[in-house]
């Protein structure tokens, strides 16, 4: 799947006047996907509201791409799924007018020049903003005469992202969008996504393994493991629910009696314990407390995944 294929399927049609704003952007009930030997989505339930930036985070093979493909109508599945008020199985073309998708593998023809790619998308996509695309490209080393075959892997992704992010879609689906990009560009990409793309009318769903780099822009997080959503929470309530405590050895037994969901040893006999839903006042008597980063929460939640 690439921007050009998506653009073709989104060719100039009249805007849809249907009121979908009051409904969730995505509503999944009992979503199941069974590949030949594998249950990739196991009766999953979730919903996503307008104006959210949702991180769908899980280990390899957890079902992230499968969930995104179901939302985009790219695979058959069982259960109920509504995306922007449409059923992706039967209303895919209609849905694609309002959805933009960046796959983990960017595919652009090798012969195409930057300026030709821009011309093409501008010609086929009514919601493409050329000036915006050029602003994105101004932050890269890409020049208008450069051909895809002359670009590095990361530069191809940069071109692809610039083309797609300049399309004004209601729902943007990003599957590992920064794979192959260096850290400078990754940081810049998420910053631009926030500053130049996102507004309260839009919704973004993003999968990535680089949790630390996106946690500051997320409004919500969904952890997926073995085809099931195991954590589904707004970011601000994560801090209310999960607390990390730096416990000294003389308090370790008392802390363990409160059933931490994870612990890891530090030098000098201290232990970091992670608690779920234990009152903060109680925990602060055991040691210094802080909100865990998403990466630590992820590791704690996914322990034993590859066992």
Ligand X SMILES: Nc1ncnc2c1ncn2[C@@H]1O[C@H](COP(=O)(O)OP(=O)(O)OP(=O)(O)O)[C@@H](O)[C@H]1O
By the rule CB under 6 A, 301 interacts with ligand X: no
Q: Which of 26, 40, 71, 300 binds ligand X (CB under 6 A)?
A: 40
Cβ distance to ligand X smaller for residue 167 or 294: 294
Backbone φ and ψ of 118, nearest 5° = -65, -45
Cβ distance to ligand X smaller for residue 229 or 245: 229
Q: How far is the CB of 285 from ligand X (least distance, A)?
A: 40
Q: Which residues contact 15 (CB under 8 A, 6 or more apart)?
A: none
By the rule CB under 6 A, 260 interacts with ligand X: no
Q: How far is the CB of 13 from ligand X (least distance, A)?
A: 31
By the rule CB under 6 A, 180 interacts with ligand X: no
State the number of binding residues for ligand X (CB under 6 A): 12
Q: How far is the CB of 39 from ligand X (least distance, A)?
A: 8
Cβ distance to ligand X smaller for residue 94 or 176: 176
Q: How far is the CB of 246 from ligand X (least distance, A)?
A: 31
Cβ distance to ligand X smaller for residue 17 or 60: 60
- State how far the Cα of 6 lies from the Cα of 22, in Å rounded to an integer: 26
Cβ distance to ligand X smaller for residue 227 or 260: 227
By the rule CB under 6 A, 35 interacts with ligand X: yes
By the rule CB under 6 A, 73 interacts with ligand X: no
Is 223 within 8 Å of 231 (Cβ atoms)? yes
Cβ distance to ligand X smaller for residue 35 or 78: 35
Q: Which of residues 49-68 bind ligand X (CB under 6 A)?
A: 58, 60-66
Comparing CA positions, the residue from 145, 181, 184 lying closest to residue 160 is: 181
Q: Which tokens is 152 given?
A: 């590095």
**Could you tell me the maximum CA-CA distance found in the chain, to the nearest angstrom?**
69
- State how far the Cα of 247 lies from the Cα of 49, in Å rounded to an integer: 38
Q: Which tokens is 254 given?
A: 């008392």
Q: DSSP letters along 230-294, please?
A: EEEEEHHHHHHHEEEEEE-GGGHHHHHTT--SEEEE-GGG-EEEEEES--HHHHHTTEEEEPPPH
Cβ distance to ligand X smaller for residue 56 or 114: 56
By the rule CB under 6 A, 82 interacts with ligand X: no
Q: Which tokens is 221 given?
A: 């997080």
Q: How far is the CB of 220 from ligand X (least distance, A)?
A: 18
Q: Which helix (H) or strand (E) holds 26?
A: strand 26-35
Query: Contact positions toward ligand X, by CB under 6 A?
Result: 35-36, 38, 40, 58, 60-66
């Amino acid at each position: 799947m690439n921007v050009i294929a998506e653009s073709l399927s989104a060719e100039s049609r009249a805007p849809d006047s249907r009121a979908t704003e009051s409904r969730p952007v995505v509503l999944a009930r009992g979503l199941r996907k069974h590949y030949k030997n594998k249950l990739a989505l196991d009766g999953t339930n979730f919903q996503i509201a307008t104006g959210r930036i949702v991180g769908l985070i899980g280990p390899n093979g957890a079902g992230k791409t499968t969930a995104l493909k179901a939302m985009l109508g790219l695979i058959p599945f069982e259960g109920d799924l509504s995306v922007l008020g449409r059923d992706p199985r039967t209303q895919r073309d209609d849905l694609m007018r309002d959805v933009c998708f960046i796959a983990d593998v960017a595919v652009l023809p090798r012969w195409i020049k930057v300026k030709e790619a821009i011309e093409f998308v501008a010609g086929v996509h009514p919601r493409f903003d050329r000036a915006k695309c050029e602003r994105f490209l101004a932050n890269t080393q890409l020049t208008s005469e450069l051909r895809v075959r002359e670009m590095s892997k990361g530069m191809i992704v940069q071109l692809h992202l610039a083309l797609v992010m300049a399309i004004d879609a209601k729902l943007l689906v990003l599957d590992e969008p920064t794979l192959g990009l260096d850290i400078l560009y990754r940081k810049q990409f998420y910053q631009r996504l926030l500053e130049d793309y996102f507004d309260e009318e839009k919704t973004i769903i993003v999968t990535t393994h680089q949790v630390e780099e996106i946690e500051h822009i997320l409004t919500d997080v969904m952890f997926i493991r073995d085809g099931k959503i195991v954590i589904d929470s707004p970011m601000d309530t994560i801090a209310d629910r999960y607390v990390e405590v730096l416990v000294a050895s003389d308090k370790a037994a008392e802390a363990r009696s409160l059933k931490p969901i994870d612990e890891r040893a530090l030098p000098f006999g201290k232990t970091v314990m992670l608690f779920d839903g234990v009152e903060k006042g109680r925990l602060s008597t055991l040691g210094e407390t802080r909100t865990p980063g998403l990466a630590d929460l992820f590791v704690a939640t996914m322990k034993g995944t590859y066992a």
